[in-house]
Amino acid sequence: MKAAALIVAAGRGTRAGGGLPKQYRLLAGQPVLTHTLAALAQDPAVTALIVVIHPEDRALFDRLIAAPAGHPLIVVDGGATRDASVRAGLAAVPDDCTRVLIHDAARPLVTPRVIASVLKALDNTPGAAPALPVTDALWTGDLGQVTGTRDRDGLFRAQTPQGFHLDAIRAAHATHPGGAADDVEVARAHGLDVAITEGDEDNIKITLPQDFARAERLLAARKEQHMDLRLGNGYDVHKFCDGSGVILCGIEVPHDKALLGHSDADVGMHAITDAIYGALAEGDIGRHFPPSDPQWKGAASEIFLRHAVDLAATRGFAIANVDCTIVCEHPKIGPHAEAMRTRLAAIMGLDTARISVKATTSEKLGFTGRGEGIAALATAALVAA
């Protein structure tokens, strides 16, 4: 299901200092908000980015903020309160999105795992949000003196993104009087169940000047971790049978034959899917979607590819690029290659610049040279996100 990310960036952020609202201050050479947008855009389910800004920051936003590749921004003016800003953002969510992630602009270090866990939880509940259990002792105090203690059992530190079924959270905000600490409070006041997913200690909210130094250190550490590069390869073959066309990389290509397979026999998409599984050391398509299972008979191969992409995100990896080579004498692939790249990009949530589809013949040699079928090879590169 498609999801929108709603980034609340209408605050003034004065406690962080620096002479600018904190979301526009530089962090490792880029505005905080740019980091936040890039983090949310990595999840393949996120197809729309809505940014709610202060009306007086429009020129600042236009000058400093660029949309992540393949993710045009919807920019909305916020209201006088956070509640009003969220309502304005919810009204701008595209109709094809059924879920929404509401996220603080000042949390630029949110990880793919945190995002994917919230979206996964929404399969079974109308609301979900990441949090960390309180582990420190809790005191009350007055004038610098401890006045008492509080039981920490059952207490959590809330984080974002907080995810909801779109219709449900719209209805909750429409009836709420305002003044809520966050969107979970709004949802619960409307009677919605909200699941707690696992948060991350690094998913900090930049609030005070010293938070910038901590965020810089965390980003530097992540860059070192990004050396975790995974490569996988995939290979698939399907033979021809009677028919009037083949499906390759999600595109129907006219031909005097079809391809035989338990699913739709999309040999190109199968090779790419296996390349991703291979990079994750997760076997192949048959391991996750056994051909002996009748529910996958005739299934669209994009189901398999989306599963592989989602699995990579859950494991904390982003897909850097994919290269697919289709081997056949006929049909001709060149006239359809761009359409294939576009289709794969839409399924995988990637920019087309990260996807290559090309073709070659086998010079009349072997089964492909004899026109008995089509083979495909693919390579996928994954990096720790």
User: Could you report the per-residue pLDDT of 162-196, keeping only the tens digit for each?
Assistant: 999 999 999 999 999 999 999 999 999 999 999 99
Which residues, other chains included, contact 54 with Cβ-Cβ below 8 Å and sequence gap of 6+?
A: 9, 10, 11, 12, 21, 77, 78
Other CB atoms within 10 Å distance of the CB of residue 338: 12
Give CA–CA dist 172/188, Å, rounded: 8
Stated as kind and residue range, the H or E segment containing 231 is strand 229-242
Give CA–CA dist 313/315, Å, rounded: 5
Nearest to 7 by CA among 51, 69, 55: 51
Assess whether pLDDT exceeds 80 at residue 332: yes
Question: What tokens appear for 263 in the block?
Answer: 């699913």
Distances (CA, A) of 193 to 93, 118, 173, 256: 22, 13, 15, 54
pTM (2 d.p.): 0.64
Other CB atoms within 10 Å distance of the CB of residue 95: 6
Q: For the chain, how many residues are written? A: 385
Which residues, other chains included, contact 359 with Cβ-Cβ below 8 Å and sequence gap of 6+?
A: 325, 326, 327, 328, 332, 333, 334, 337
Listed in sequence order, the DSSP H helices in the chain are 32-41, 58-64, 82-91, 112-121, 166-175, 183-189, 209-225, 267-279, 285-288, 302-314, 337-348, 366-369
Assess whether pLDDT exceeds 80 at residue 225: no
For the chain, domains (ranges, CATH) are 3-135+153-225 (3.90.550.10), 229-384 (3.30.1330.50)
Phi first, then psi: what are they for 347, rounded to 5°? Answer: -70, -40
Task: Provide the mean pLDDT of the chain.
Answer: 93
**Buried b or exposed e, range 249-270, using 16+ CB within 10 angstroms:** bbbebebebbbebbbbbbbbbb
pLDDT tens digits, residue range 115-130? 999 999 999 999 999 9
Assess whether pLDDT exceeds 60 at residue 311: yes
Give CA–CA dist 118/195, Å, rounded: 9
Within its chain, how far is the Cα of 10 from the centroid?
Answer: 23
Sign of CA dihedral 291, 295, 296, 302: negative
Other CB atoms within 10 Å distance of the CB of residue 46: 23
Lowest mean pLDDT among 11-15, 43-47, 240-244, 367-371: 11-15
Question: Which pLDDT value is given to residue 236?
Answer: 96
